[in-house]
Structure 1
Amino acid sequence: MMNFDLTPLFRTSIGFDRMAQLLDQANRIDQTPSYPPYNIESIEENRYRITLALAGFSDHDLEITSEQNTLTVKGKKESEVEGNFIHRGIANRSFERRFQLADHVNVKGASMHNGLLHIELEREIPEAMKPRTIAIGSDSNTVDSKPKAVESKKEVA
């Protein structure tokens, strides 16, 4: 089976592109980890939140790093809970979850509440990349109102 790298689709998207994520998930169907479960939500036009369900983990068991366009969340339990379990359905295993961030998406903070880790993200477009309106000037009183390139073509012709 052929594997395609869809990372460029994430970089060209605004925030999180659902179609690129679906294509990426379909491409990595065998490789996609299912633990821990998470949600990605759009709070406002340029604000996002990732929520991971981390029952049994505390903030000192977690490590969050952001490097270039990748957000990595790692969890490692210091000690395994011991006991005589009849059924053990709460996973306390170590994990590493990676998220591809679009260009100019920055991590603003993280908080842990009731077993849910919330990571706040914000897209900040630099001023130089924001669209701007350019005024068109017209001065009918001046003879030299045409661009130089157009004048030089008229003289040659």
Structure 2
Amino acid sequence: MDFGDLKVIRLSDKRGANGTRLWECRCKCGEVIYVLGASLRAGYYKSCGCNREEKRDIGAREHEKTDRVDGTRKTALKAKLHKGNKSGHKGVRWNESRQKWTAHIGFKGKQISLGYFSEKEDAIKARKRAEEKYFDPILNSDTEYKG
């Protein structure tokens, strides 16, 4: 008997969490999985999960094509502040060894140092200027990555 891409092989000796025996099934990809009969009949299982992974990968590739501009991901530029950030601003942190604030920005897979500053506000200003220089042309672009 078939349920989607799963072909029931036999009732196995394996048992589910509630003690019910599981059905041994072979997926079209060749993977063997064990499933509750009620779950098969209800349509909860139609494959071993290989279809889900395939669809996910296709979706991820499509997103990457529309998200990249000139090798840079637009969504990364708009990402929220990391929960571990102590300065309150992206790309600005306290450098303990130099006892100064440092600013940096990531662009096209590279980290660009924007300098060291005695005042946090100066580091924030440097980061904002760099965002305008590097990020604004990409965020305001309608160009898609042709990669």
Please indicate the TM-score interval, normalised by the length of the shorter structure.
Answer: under 0.3
Question: Hey, which of these two has a bigger chunk of helix by percent?
Answer: 2
- Structure ranking higher on relative contact order (CA contacts 8 Å, 6+ apart): 1
